[in-house]
Amino acid sequence: MGANSSDSLTPAIAADHPGVGELFAVLAYGEISAFYRLAEDARMSPTLQGRVALARMAGAEMQHFETLETTITARGHDVYEAMAPFVTPLDDFHSATHPSTWLEALVKAHVGDGIAADFYREIADSLDPSVADVVREVLAETGHSEFVVHEVSAAVASSTQVKDRLMLWGRRLLGEAITQAQYVMAQREALTELVITASGDLNGIAALFDRMQERHAERMAVLGLV
Amino acid sequence: MGANSSDSLTPAIAADHPGVGELFAVLAYGEISAFYRLAEDARMSPTLQGRVALARMAGAEMQHFETLETTITARGHDVYEAMAPFVTPLDDFHSATHPSTWLEALVKAHVGDGIAADFYREIADSLDPSVADVVREVLAETGHSEFVVHEVSAAVASSTQVKDRLMLWGRRLLGEAITQAQYVMAQREALTELVITASGDLNGIAALFDRMQERHAERMAVLGLV
């Protein structure tokens, strides 16, 4: 939880904080880039079930995008202009973590989304409810993690080599995600100010990244990657 | 309209006709293959707006897929087993009509979906309402045809060469669609029997294809391809 947790009475960050628009915009482009990453990675699926599972997740990302687009437009901004600053860092994250196997693709779909969701949920706790509700809505499970958990844990149980490679892969996903998050914040003053306020202070941000690391480890454990 | 048009009192085809399950299955795999075709073709988009427009259409296809999956499962069938016979013909249609430019991709997204929708709507008129409602629901506009119409008609207005190439492209899409439809029917007895019953007789099928051709021409005209 940030300095202003969900059970505090007055959220630190008002709906008109300049960083809120940037927060919605980075979330919006995150949905678009996730859509295309899932659609592309699905081509590695050995089964129709796998292709359908990733297409479902991608479809859910688009529903979340449309929620964000409505919100951004209602706030008087153009969604494409708003997303523009986040295209390069998010595309860079995906090209830096391009899966080379179907199992890596599944782990990325599951763990990557989880890392992002942890970050935004922590922030949401300090946002005005009208803003926090949108953030939480678009972070809702894209579903079908059962499929990923089943596929990955079965493969991991049957091969130590596969397990070792996927554990390294998971670590790399977390590292790249934090690198890109820091890059984005270095670029966007208002968003950075929002994150610092949400976290309390710079120590709060360090603590936030520690908690993200813990949740990441829990998520990996669910996949048998422990 | 087929022999049993929507205003006739008793639809020719009962909900338990063996072809109905095949009809839902071919529609279901149609959504999956359309999803992946749109996601792949979007990579040719020169703008983020274009990528978002195709991602939206692809997302809508997945919502339609989930409706069909629910229906197929409720009828006691496995959706993957049911779709299996239709994977090759539909994949063949897409590889035979692989767009080489962004404009060809847009025309295919718009005109291709339209051709399929015309065919299934004609059939729907003869189906038991419980079946027809599902068919019509999943044929609902995937939206954003305004985007396609705007992009294509602008390009066509500015170049006769572009226009001529896209007119040939549209003709090819219709030809390949009818070829694959006939191939599918040659393979699936129950589905063929359903289509013949819906059309009245073999002359009815010929008339159906004539009407599809007319609607195709109207759709091309909207894009400035006349």
Model pLDDT, residue B6: 46
Dist CA B118 CA A47 (whole Å): 31
Environment class of residue A6 by beta-carbon count within 10 Å: exposed (0-12), middle (13-18) or buried (19+)? middle
The string of DSSP letters for A104-157 reads HHHHIIIIIHHHHHHHHHHHHTTB-HHHHHHHHHHTS--S-HHHHHHHHHHHHH
Q: What is the DSSP letter of A13?
A: B
**Residue-range definition of the domain harbouring residue B89:** 18-222
* B77-132 residue pLDDT tens: 999 999 999 999 999 999 999 999 999 999 999 998 899 899 999 999 999 999 99
Does residue A11 lie within any of the structural domains?
no
Does residue A7 lie within any of the structural domains?
no
Structure tokens at A138: 């678009």
Give the 3-state secondary structure of residue A101.
coil
Model pLDDT, residue A6: 46
The answer for A 2-41 residues in CB contact with B (under 8 A) is: 32, 35-36, 39-40
User: Among all residues of chain B, which has the CA nearest to that of A58?
Assistant: B59
* B11-55 residue pLDDT tens: 789 999 999 999 999 999 999 999 999 999 999 999 999 999 999
Structure tokens at B98: 């692989």
Model pLDDT, residue A9: 55
Model pLDDT, residue A3: 47
State whether residue A63 sits within 8 Å of chain B by CB: yes
Residues of chain B neighbouring A80 (CB-CB closer than 8 A): 48-49, 52
Residues of chain B neighbouring A43 (CB-CB closer than 8 A): 36
State whether residue A73 sits within 8 Å of chain B by CB: no
Residues of chain A neighbouring B32 (CB-CB closer than 8 A): 48, 51-52, 55
Does residue A12 lie within any of the structural domains?
no
Structure tokens at A225: 């990657």
Q: Could you tell me how far CA A73 lies from the centroid of its own chain?
A: 22
Q: Is the ipTM of this complex over 0.85?
A: yes
DSSP β-bridge partners for residue B127: B13
Give the pLDDT mean for A108-129. Answer: 91
- In angstroms, what separates the C-alpha of A82 from chain B's closest C-alpha? 12
- In angstroms, what separates the C-alpha of B149 from chain A's closest C-alpha? 20
State whether residue A96 sits within 8 Å of chain B by CB: no
Model pLDDT, residue B10: 66
* CB B3, CB B64: distance < 8 Å: no
Q: Which ranges constitute the DSSP H helices of A75-112?
A: 79-96, 102-107
Query: Residues B131, B132, B135, B140: is their CA dihedral positive or negative?
Result: negative
Residues of chain B neighbouring A82 (CB-CB closer than 8 A): none
Model pLDDT, residue B12: 81
Residue B161: pLDDT above 90?
yes
Model pLDDT, residue B2: 45
* A4-54 residue pLDDT tens: 444 555 678 999 999 999 999 999 999 999 999 999 999 999 999 999 999
Model pLDDT, residue B184: 85
- In angstroms, what separates the C-alpha of B62 from chain A's closest C-alpha? 6
Does residue B37 lie within any of the structural domains?
yes
Does residue B28 lie within any of the structural domains?
yes
Residues of chain B neighbouring A83 (CB-CB closer than 8 A): 48
Considering only CB atoms, A80 lies closest to which of B43, B49, B80, namely B49
Does residue B8 lie within any of the structural domains?
no
Dist CA B211 CA A73 (whole Å): 41
Dist CA A198 CA A211 (whole Å): 14
Dist CA A160 CA A162 (whole Å): 5
Residue type, B208: L
A181 vs A58, higher pLDDT: A58
Q: What is the DSSP letter of B224?
A: T
Give the domain CATH number at B154: 1.20.1260.10
Does residue A94 lie within any of the structural domains?
yes
Dist CA A34 CA A48 (whole Å): 20
Model pLDDT, residue A1: 43
pLDDT tier for residue B1 given thresholds of 50, 70 and 90: very low
Does residue B9 lie within any of the structural domains?
no
Chains A, B: CB pairs < 8 Å: 69
Residue B142: pLDDT above 80?
no
State whether residue B62 sits within 8 Å of chain A by CB: yes
Q: To the nearest whole percent, how much of chain A has pLDDT over 70?
A: 94
Dist CA B186 CA A79 (whole Å): 48
Dist CA B22 CA B193 (whole Å): 11
**Contact between A87 and B62 using a beta-carbon 8 Å cutoff:** no
User: Among all residues of chain A, which has the CA nearest to that of B64?
Assistant: A59
Q: What is the DSSP letter of B108?
A: I
Residue B146: pLDDT above 90?
no
How many domains is chain A built from? 1
- What's the length of chain B? 226
Residues of chain A neighbouring B35 (CB-CB closer than 8 A): 39, 55, 58-59
Dist CA A70 CA A93 (whole Å): 26
pLDDT tier for residue A212 given thresholds of 50, 70 and 90: very high
**Contact between B32 and A55 using a beta-carbon 8 Å cutoff:** yes
Dist CA A68 CA A59 (whole Å): 15
Greatest Cα-to-Cα distance within chain B, rounded to the nearest angstrom: 53
- Select from A198, A62, A32 the least CA-distant residue to A131: A198
- Select from A216, A141, A206, A204 the least CA-distant residue to A4: A204
Residues of chain A neighbouring B87 (CB-CB closer than 8 A): 48
